[in-house]
Amino acid sequence: MPFELFIALRHLRARKRERFISVVTSICIAGVALGVMALIVVLAVMNGFEEELKEKILSVSAHVLVLSYKGPIEGYREAERKIETIPGVVSASPLVLTQVMVTSPYGISGGVLRGVSPTAPEVREIGARVQEGVRALSPGTLWVGAELAKILAVEIDDRVTVVSPLGRAHPFGTVPRTKAFSVGAIFRTGMFDYDSTLLIAPLEDVQEFLSMGDRVTHIEVRVKDIYSAREVARKIEELLGTPFYARDWMEMNRNLFAALRMERRVMFVLLSLVVAVAAFNIIGTLTMTVMEKRREIAILRSMGAPKRSISRIFLWQGLLIGTVGTFLGTMGGLLLAFNIEGIASGIERIFGFQFLPGDIYYITEVPSRVNPWDVVTIAAVALLLSVLAALYPARKASRLDPVEVLRYE
């Protein structure tokens, strides 16, 4: 063991007359640990939000959406066959998407009606989230989001009427289109925007309702790798040509995920200030240690210890404080991050409130995803700040004149 490290360890073991410095050192360690722990937990929750949002959005939305500048797509089956020849494409299925008003004897609300093929991947994804009813989409039935079902006060087999603002011609003018459906299932995606507005019906029923014939508004495309969606969208546009164009899920949700990433960066900077404050405490603590150990430093210098070795003693001391604080903070942060959902649920049950009300936030549970690179970055930043904080005290100690110090001791 280098003698500089040995002396640094001795400095951290307080004697009775140095108890105050020991307490301040413990506070420094606690400050570093608190900052590291807060950073790990907050970034894990932010990562969890992003992953949960991706999962919930992509369980309902397409990875790539194909549209036509001319409006409804005719001959969509041929376009689907071409799309499915592109490497990386899992499936292509028709979709009719429209804004509607939905009414029941007990309520009324706006909604988004999606006409899909009963064999589409979307049906399987949402079918896994059905809380009540049949998981198969049959003619004349409608799947309703759980929050929308509450607004309409409907249950399985109740009748609802869907009204489209796209009216139809009538001798007395344009009249709204209406169609009655039976509630076949109630589902919950966990995302309030979807659960409070989404209606899913068989493709043929929606085409008949809107008098579209054998046309669709979109073609939904699913890919093997969601992060290759942009490249697949480009290939679809090249293959189909005008008037078709494609939009990938990242483009359609660009603002949402950009806001999340910005919020994540801001939180990292703000919480890094906690570690920075702890680093300033390290400066103060080590400066007091230098003043307390002036005589010992002078003796070491008079015995031939070079200035470089004196500096290393206090650099080691700063690194040790940072290492202990970082280790404790990392362990505490990982423990909290891996159990945050259970902890949050327990607090909600005890105090009777909800951290993430569904009518405000996109999701209703506190998610957590630990990114190993985040943990490594946080630990490295904490250690770096701890060493940087030790530079001034180390320089001050190395510049002490042993003759002047021992003269007055």
The domain limits of the chain are 3-55+256-407, 70-241
* Helix residue spans in 178-293 (DSSP H): 192-195, 203-209, 229-240, 249-252, 254-292
pLDDT on residue 347: 76
pLDDT on residue 331: 94
Burial degree of 83 (CB within 10 A; 0-12, 13-18, 19+): buried
pLDDT on residue 151: 92
Comparing 201 with 356, the larger pLDDT belongs to 201
- Tokens at 234, concatenated: 């480009």
- Window from 95-104, 109-118, 126-135, 229-238 with minimum mean pLDDT: 126-135
Give CA–CA dist 397/164, Å, rounded: 80
Q: Which residues contact 242 (CB under 8 A, 6 or more apart)?
A: 69
Q: Is the pLDDT of residue 354 over 80?
A: no
Percent of the chain whose pLDDT exceeds 90? 27
pLDDT on residue 360: 58
Please name which of 109, 72, 79 lies closest in space to residue 93, comparing C-alpha atoms.
79
CB–CB of 63/309 below 8 Å?
no
Band of residue 205 on the pLDDT scale cut at 50, 70, 90? very high
DSSP string computed for 275-286:
HHHHHHHHHHHH
Positive or negative, the CA dihedral 345, 349, 355, 357 is positive
CB–CB of 252/61 below 8 Å?
yes
Percent of the chain whose pLDDT exceeds 70? 85
Residue with tokens 């002047």: 404
Tell me the chain's radius of gyration from C-alpha atoms.
32
Task: Give the model confidence (pLDDT) of 235-249 as tens digits.
Answer: 999 998 888 999 998
Instruction: Find residue 222's DSSP bridge partners.
Output: 91
Strand pairing of 141-145 and 198-202? Answer: antiparallel
Task: Give the model confidence (pLDDT) of 170-201 as tens digits.
Answer: 555 566 788 999 999 999 887 788 889 999 99
Question: What are the strands, taking DSSP E only, across 207-243?
Answer: 218-223
Helix axes 372-398, 254-292, angle to 10 degrees: 30
Q: Is the pLDDT of residue 339 over 90?
A: no
Task: Give the model confidence (pLDDT) of 5-27 as tens digits.
Answer: 667 766 666 555 556 557 777 88
Euclidean distance between the first and the last CA atom of the chain, given in angstroms as a whole number: 30
Q: Is the pLDDT of residue 223 over 80?
A: yes
Band of residue 364 on the pLDDT scale cut at 50, 70, 90? low
What mean pLDDT, rounded, does the chain reach?
83
Instruction: Find residue 104's DSSP bridge partners.
Output: 107
Give CA–CA dist 72/214, Å, rounded: 10
Question: What are the strands, taking DSSP E only, across 203-274?
Answer: 218-223, 244-248
Band of residue 320 on the pLDDT scale cut at 50, 70, 90? confident
Task: Give the model confidence (pLDDT) of 16-73 as tens digits.
Answer: 555 655 777 788 888 889 889 989 998 898 888 888 888 888 878 889 999 999 888 8
Band of residue 367 on the pLDDT scale cut at 50, 70, 90? confident
Please name which of 76, 294, 91 lies closest in space to residue 203, comparing C-alpha atoms.
76
Q: Is the pLDDT of residue 304 over 80?
A: no
- Tokens at 161, concatenated: 């009427």
- Tokens at 306, concatenated: 């070079």
- Window from 39-43, 113-117, 281-285, 342-346 with minimum mean pLDDT: 342-346
Give CA–CA dist 41/43, Å, rounded: 6
